[in-house]
Chain A
Amino acid sequence: MIRKIVYSIFLATIVLALVMFFAAYPFGKNKMTVGEYYLNNGVAQTGASNIVTSVVVDYRGFDTLGEVSVLFGAAAGVAILFFVLAENRRERKNITSPNFVVKVGSRIIFPFILLFGTYIFIHGHLTPGGGFQGGSIIASGFLLLYLAYPGTRVSRKKLSAVEGLAGLTFVLLGLYGLMLPESSFLFNFLPKGQLNALLSAGILPIIYIAIGFKVAAEFAGIVDDMMCEVICRGGEK
């Protein structure tokens, strides 16, 4: 009991410190200088109409590369933990078969989920959305497939091939920019095109499509490991 009181005082102190700190930053008033610079010059410099995309892929593209590597590390960690370190491998057990409606409905809806995800990451530089969102939508489509047909397995070799090719595209585009006269990593060397056209913004859509494939493959791999844990070795509790 005394522990709870002590920790409540501790949390109240943290909240009070946050309130006092953020009293200097009034809600809804002014922006950061960097943000204003990106808003004023982003369209001219990158050609993408969605400024969040141009910040994620162009201005902070190196950051995004690191983030994708963290994602790869986490997915590899899940796979290693479940497949290498797992001790008591049990036999495959039957789990409850899903409803008829779920089976037929998921078969109808699965291509549309893939199409929607693809639309979202192809139009990442024009409308809200992009590689991360589209990739996770595609991964949730795979999740629906697992729920409807518990025996499904996605081929791990194909998943890692997609993942590796997407990551390679990102890195090679970045390194190609380093070889040009005005060299910088991830230099936007393709023509900018017209604002709000599908083929615009240089290498931004290509990189975002690569990120989309990579995120979809990583999350589908994580979901595959998790579902296999239930189906292949799990069973009813």
Chain B
Amino acid sequence: MIYYLGSFLLIAIGLYAIIIKKNLIKILIGLNLAASGVNLLIVSIGYIKNGTAPIFSKIGINPSAMVDPIPQALTLTAIVIDASELALAVAFVVLLYRHYGTLDIKKIRSLKW
């Protein structure tokens, strides 16, 4: 249960940073934290009590005592995509900084809200 609560709060912290912060790097950090929270939430859905990892390393392991493999497989691909997309976002931020000379989104005209 604590895993659910922790991941909810992590998502909330990430969203708070995305909404409130003015600095672009801080916004990206918030995005990363929220994505990690979602990953943690998805993996903790698949957990069962006293379960083992879904690997048949020895013969005679009971499949019904294993945790759910599907959330883990989905999360695995999600982590890799997160990292590559965030690299792209950092590249955009660097170019924005070169063009406007600031990281503050209030001063960047096209991003003003």
Say whether A50 contacts B81, CB under 8 Å.
no
Instruction: Tell yes or no: A132 within 8 A of B by CB.
Output: yes
Instruction: Tell yes or no: B12 within 8 A of A by CB.
Output: yes
Least Cβ–Cβ distance between A46 and chain B, in angstroms: 11
Q: Nearest CB to that of A49 among chain B residues?
A: B56
Say whether B76 contacts A29, CB under 8 Å.
no
Residues of A within 8 A of B88 (CB): 74, 77-78, 81
- Footprint of B on A, CB under 8 Å? 3-4, 7-8, 10-12, 14-15, 18-19, 22, 25, 27-32, 34-36, 38-40, 42-43, 49-52, 55-56, 60, 63-64, 67, 70-71, 74-75, 77-78, 81-82, 85-88, 126-128, 130, 132, 136, 195-196, 215, 218-219, 222, 225-226, 229
Say whether B95 contacts A81, CB under 8 Å.
yes
Dominant secondary structure at the A interface: helix
Closest 9 CB pairs of A and B: A74-B84, A35-B68, A51-B54, A55-B73, A28-B49, A49-B56, A39-B63, A51-B69, A31-B68
11 contacts between A and B (CB under 8 A): A7-B16, A18-B8, A39-B63, A70-B84, A70-B85, A74-B87, A77-B91, A85-B95, A215-B80, A225-B91, A229-B94
The 0/1 profile, CB within 8 Å of A marked 1, for residues 3-27 of chain B is 1100011011001100110000000
Say whether B80 contacts A132, CB under 8 Å.
yes
- CB contact under 8 A between A218 and B56, given known A28-B49, A35-B68, A51-B66: no
Residues of A within 8 A of B81 (CB): 67, 70-71, 74
Q: Nearest CB to that of B55 among chain A residues?
A: A50
- CB contact under 8 A between A11 and B54, given known A71-B80, A74-B84, A74-B85: no
| CA A82 to CA B64, docked complex, whole Å | 50
Which of B4, B59, B63 contacts A40, CB < 8 Å?
Answer: B63
- CB contact under 8 A between A52 and B48, given known A7-B16, A11-B15, A85-B95: no
Dominant secondary structure at the B interface: helix
Tell me the B43-84 residues at the A interface (CB within 8 Å): 44-49, 51, 53-57, 59, 63-64, 66-70, 72-73, 76-77, 79-81, 83-84
Least Cβ–Cβ distance between B18 and chain A, in angstroms: 10
Say whether A7 contacts B20, CB under 8 Å.
yes
| CA A55 to CA B72, docked complex, whole Å | 9
Instruction: Tell yes or no: B100 within 8 A of A by CB.
Output: no
Say whether B56 contacts A43, CB under 8 Å.
yes
Say whether B15 contacts A49, CB under 8 Å.
no
Residues of B within 8 A of A87 (CB): 98
Residues of B within 8 A of A67 (CB): 77, 80-81
Say whether B16 contacts A18, CB under 8 Å.
no
